[in-house]
A and B are shown apart, each in its own frame.
Chain A
Amino acid sequence: MNHTYIGKDMPIENAAAKAMGRLVYCGDMSLPHMAYMKLVLSPVAHGIVRAIHTEKAAAIPGVLAVLTPDNTPAITYDRGRVLANQQAPAQETIFSRHVRFAGDRIAAVVAETPAAALEAAALVEVQIDPLPAAFTPEDALTLEQPIHDKDSVITLPTASCGDFDEEVGELFTHQTSTQRITHVAMENHCALADYDPATRHMTIWTPTQSVFGVRSVVCTVLGLPMNRVRVIKTPMGGSFGCKQEMILEPLVACAAQMLGRPVMLQFDRREVMLCTVLKHPLASQVQAKIDAAHKVKGLRIDVTLDAGAYQSVSPDYAETMAKKFSWVYDIPSIEYRARSVCTNTPVSGSYRGWGGPEVALILENTMNAYAKKQGLDPIDFRLKNILPPFSQGKFISYNLGSLPFREALQAGRARFQWDARKQALASQDRDGRYLKGLGMALSTHTSGYFPRRLDWGRVILKMEEDGTVQINLCVHDHGCGEVTALKSIAAEELRLSPDEIELQEGDTAYNALDNGCYTSRSVYVLGKAVQEASQSLLKELYRYGACLLQAPPEALFHGGGQVFVREEPSRACTYSDIAYYCADHGAGALMIDHNHIPESNPGPVAAHFCQVEVDRLTGQCQVTDYLAVHDVGQAINPASCRSQVASALQQGMGFVFCEKIQLDEKTGRVKNADLQRYHVVRAAELPPLDILFIEQPDEKGPYGAKSLGEACALPVAPALVAAVNDALDMDLTQLPLSPEGILKALSERK
């Protein structure tokens, strides 16, 4: 199909405003009489706050209020919940006298200036009676007094299919464990709330992934009616999951209500690292049964997630992992056990891929380690085990779509020259300083929530009387191009320029209820909603165009903002003419209200291949080549797709080689809550990245598109780990693979 916008590189929404520094992010906003909030955080990992002395802080000029557990609501809530009727472990309050990690919120100061708030917050004196603390799940399980009265440890019911014990095959065991990391979205968290006591209206601006989630939590905590709380999504300087939970919004809303004026809370990098969410540290044990023909017959997985101080999304996170073990390979028997354990550490929460990267790492590490042990080629081994197209995994009741695992593996093998590289490396000098290795990994993901509840796209499409279009849809652009993609879809259908389409992001005052932009659903679900609504609008244009042109709708055609008579193109009217015609002839406004409820959720396949070089002297790893093969159905905006893959690679490299939040073993305090001591991958360290898109359109996706944003984050870590292990002829499975760790492993081997 020849498209005008779909499949074409399009600059991101607001690119010029971004390039000029004119786009207003939340932290760039200011409102008359705006005040600034600064939190007082616990220095102690576990304890009871005996006293809070606020006098000195209150005496600082410009201080407006000191918020403490005594003058703020004590209602418990869950930061990860979107609807109030969701079952979620509500363990958190705005401020707490029972502090559960170093960084827990005790109080806050609100002042006229950021400087005054900062100065005063440092003067709030807190006395804390310490309690025994646990910084690992193992230690937490032995705590005499659990961290919470209820739900400190949540063990999920075992998810199983088939019968592992009955399966026949060689037993292969494997373990993978990962560290705590932070997302490092460049924009630190920020929220702004304004409350007008006269009208009792609350407005909150925030770069969130779910405006309705924010509204729900704020209304629960402050007891406000939902129709008086308006949450507006601001441009987001990256999320990668870190802006999914509702963390700052209840705090600013509470302060704004107390003061009757706007209050902004802008986190600095340290606060983001201490008191938002981090990626879960995880420990896993796998038992696999693999038969003589190298078919994986059974998997028994045991996972422990460190939830941090509050459970929040962690049990759900662990739960969603079960199905992800079942949808790459055709494994008859799977048993999945998981528990989510609270510890006295920063809260774990949403991270790009929501369990997908964890599952890919555990499963692919196992696959790679087994292939290595048996001397099997990892691609051949996978080809024996992949699910056929249009299968469904265990634990789920829907079809996963075309699942081009075979194509992805074969295309990658050829493009990466896997076999030739392998041959070349076989003869490398294994005693030399530099050792090279190859690695690969395979995975798939979701394209939406289906069949979970809360997945729909409710869109109102308006044609203005000048022929331009407004889309009203609850979308939350993470900064990676959702809005651009949605506009391209509408533009393609209506044959308008994307410039003639406008789409404001999430706003609870105008949008229909929506779950939020999670789980890579924006293009597949919301994009389809926009496509269908555009088609309906087009029907209306034809219908009224037919009246105007006095021709049957079947005889009409559209393009360039006009409707024509196909055989006689000079008989034409503009979209604007039609809009005025409707207005003048009692048909009213040209507007479509469309609800798209998806009934499918295809798995976008990803296969990654890489080569690394390990320096045996320093333990440093250099990624020298990388290929990412992605089944995207149809790339709506290939430029954005490439950026997504590149960002997944840089973040995955950080996860594997250098990123780690370090806790002081005695105090539980974060030792490196800054970018000086927390290392991310820099421009100079990135390898050349080759990307191959497999474009087999999905039957139900908009123009055939499937998801990509999280899918590309899945295979990176296991592919890199495999390459390092191939280079060193080892089986390192405890992340990160730091230079020190590698040197230690090398010296232990000697």
Chain B
Amino acid sequence: MKLRFILNGQAIELEAPPEKRLIDLLREDLHLTGAKEGCGEGECGSCTVLLDDAAVHACLVLAGQIDGHSVTTIEGLGKDGDLDPLQTAFIENMAIQCGYCTPGMIMAARGLLLKNLDPSEAEIRNAISGNICRCAGYTQIIQAIQEAAKAYRKEAQL
């Protein structure tokens, strides 16, 4: 089927079977390999992207579902070559180890901050509870998200 959607802010059109998984569409057809497949069944969060403004598991979304919508991947974060505050906060708070969970984790956090710019620690834990990181204990990740939220709030006030 012909798909028309917004990918990382740009309108695109492409031909794909409607039952193709979004993760495969992104990685194979669009060569956006930031989203990773860790489980293929919505359990690990490493494939998380934004569908419109909601964090979704790209392994569970089918190509047919994105027609007419907007998809944001980790590659689409940040403006004009600058890192997004979440990316900066993850780096500065040492919230990254092997990095395999990082794109999904950041996109899950982005989904949260789009809804709630001032999340409590419990809300953050809850928002990333579908994202597995095996290299650390989430403490730094939670800190990073809190700091990014602060940066976003500051930006919003300006």
Q: Are B37 and A188 in contact (CB under 8 A)?
A: yes
- 1/0 per residue B82-105: CB within 8 Å of A? 010001101110101111111100
Q: Are B132 and A20 in contact (CB under 8 A)?
A: no
Q: Are A683 and B138 in contact (CB under 8 A)?
A: yes
Interface stretch among B61-69, B111-119, B121-129, B149-157?
Answer: B121-129
- In this complex, how many residues of chain A approach chain B with their Cβ under 8 Å: the count is 57
Interface stretch among A290-298, A549-557, A646-654?
Answer: A646-654
Q: Is A616 an interface residue (CB 8 A)?
A: no
Taking CB atoms and an 8 Å cut-off, the chain B residues in 1-58 that contact chain A are 24, 27-28, 31-41, 43-44, 46
Q: Is B140 an interface residue (CB 8 A)?
A: yes
State in angstroms the CA–CA spacing of A279 and B4 once bound together: 47
Q: Is A143 an interface residue (CB 8 A)?
A: no
State in angstroms the CA–CA spacing of A16 and B87 once bound together: 8
Query: Beyond A187-B36, A675-B41, is A686–B138 a contact (Cβ under 8 Å)?
Result: yes
Query: Beyond A25-B36, A237-B36, A647-B137, is A674–B41 a contact (Cβ under 8 Å)?
Result: yes
Which residue of chain B is the closest to A675 with respect to CB atoms?
A: B43
Q: Are B137 and A650 in contact (CB under 8 A)?
A: yes
State in angstroms the CA–CA spacing of A658 and B45 once bound together: 20
- 1/0 per residue B128-140: CB within 8 Å of A? 1101111111111
State in angstroms the CA–CA spacing of A479 and B35 once bound together: 17
State in angstroms the CA–CA spacing of A238 and B101 once bound together: 10
Taking CB atoms and an 8 Å cut-off, the chain A residues in 680-706 that contact chain B are 680, 682-684, 686, 689
Q: Are A25 and B100 in contact (CB under 8 A)?
A: yes
Chain A residues whose C-beta falls within 8 Å of the C-beta of B97 in the assembled complex: 12, 238, 479-481, 640, 643, 647
* Distance from A114 Cβ to chain B, minimum over Cβ atoms (Å): 7
Q: Is A21 an interface residue (CB 8 A)?
A: yes
Q: Are B38 and A649 in contact (CB under 8 A)?
A: no
Taking CB atoms and an 8 Å cut-off, the chain A residues in 60-114 that contact chain B are 113-114
Q: Are B128 and A683 in contact (CB under 8 A)?
A: yes
Chain A residues whose C-beta falls within 8 Å of the C-beta of B78 in the assembled complex: 20
| Number of A-B residue pairs with CB-CB distance less than 8 Å in the complex they form | 175
Do most interface residues of chain B lie in helix, strand or loop, or is the interface mixed?
A: loop
State in angstroms the CA–CA spacing of A643 and B98 once bound together: 11
Q: Are B28 and A19 in contact (CB under 8 A)?
A: no
Which residue of chain B is the closest to A19 with respect to CB atoms?
A: B87
Chain A residues whose C-beta falls within 8 Å of the C-beta of B125 in the assembled complex: 683-684
Query: Beyond A237-B98, A683-B129, is A20–B39 a contact (Cβ under 8 Å)?
Result: no
Q: Is B106 an interface residue (CB 8 A)?
A: yes
Which has the most chain A C-beta neighbours within 10 Å: B28, B91, B106, B129? B91
State in angstroms the CA–CA spacing of A684 and B103 once bound together: 20
Q: Is A28 an interface residue (CB 8 A)?
A: yes
Q: Are B43 and A682 in contact (CB under 8 A)?
A: no
State in angstroms the CA–CA spacing of A187 and B96 once bound together: 14
Q: Are A650 and B94 in contact (CB under 8 A)?
A: no
Q: Are A675 and B135 in contact (CB under 8 A)?
A: no
Which residue of chain A is the closest to B127 with respect to CB atoms?
A: A683
Q: Are B38 and A19 in contact (CB under 8 A)?
A: no
State in angstroms the CA–CA spacing of A268 and B128 once bound together: 22
State in angstroms the CA–CA spacing of A613 and B62 once bound together: 43
Q: Is A184 an interface residue (CB 8 A)?
A: yes
- 27 A-B pairs with CB atoms under 8 Å apart are A12-B96, A12-B97, A16-B83, A24-B33, A25-B36, A27-B33, A28-B27, A30-B31, A184-B132, A186-B38, A186-B132, A186-B134, A188-B37, A237-B36, A238-B97, A238-B134, A269-B44, A639-B140, A645-B137, A646-B136, A646-B139, A647-B97, A650-B137, A682-B132, A683-B138, A686-B137, A686-B138
Known: A15-B90, A20-B75, A235-B99. 17 other contacts (CB 8 A): A11-B94, A12-B97, A14-B99, A18-B103, A20-B34, A25-B100, A27-B36, A186-B132, A186-B134, A269-B39, A639-B140, A646-B138, A647-B135, A674-B39, A674-B43, A684-B125, A684-B129
